[in-house]
Amino acid sequence: MVEPLLEMRIEEEKYDIKLNNAILAEDKHVPMYEQMASKYIDKYITGGATQNAIRVAQWMLQTPGATRFMGCIGKDKFGEEMKRASTAAGVNAHYREDEIAATGTCVVCIVGGER
């Protein structure tokens, strides 16, 4: 099954994150997601390669519900945000909700237009 990602976009440089760099989060980064979500996140976007392609196709078609996506999310706050973001994008998404695993997340830091 495809694992969707919930992308969280922030507009401030925080947490000593370097521009033009990508890291995989470690256990030490887990608390950072909740901190960022409560203070800095200005938009949630459905992500992951397949879900991004579906979202773009939906935007091109301009017919709500014309596209569909299936994946697995955690039964958590970020899973709820994923469902809201999919609905807002017009995608007809069906997620299996896992009681144990967390929703896959990705933070994109934007500083002056730089990722």
pTM, full prediction? 0.72
Please give the Cα distance from 6 to 85 (Å, whole number): 9
Residue 78 corresponds to which amino acid? F
Note down pLDDT in tens along the chain; length 115 residues. Answer: 556 666 666 554 555 566 677 777 777 767 777 777 777 777 788 888 899 999 999 999 999 899 999 999 999 988 999 999 999 999 999 999 999 998 888 777 666 776 6
- Residue ranges of E strands in the chain: 5-10, 41-47, 68-74, 92-98, 105-109
The 10s digit of each residue's pLDDT in 19-31 is 677 777 777 767 7
Q: Could you give the angle at which helices 77-89 and 49-61 cross, rounded to 10 degrees? A: 30
Domain ranges for the chain, please list them. Answer: 5-109
The 10s digit of each residue's pLDDT in 64-81 is 899 999 999 999 988 999
Classify strands 41-47 and 5-10 as parallel, antiparallel or unpaired. antiparallel
For the chain, the farthest-separated pair of C-alpha atoms sits apart, in whole angstroms, at: 42
Q: Residue 64: what are its φ and ψ, rounded to 5°?
A: -50, 135
Average pLDDT of the residues of the chain: 81
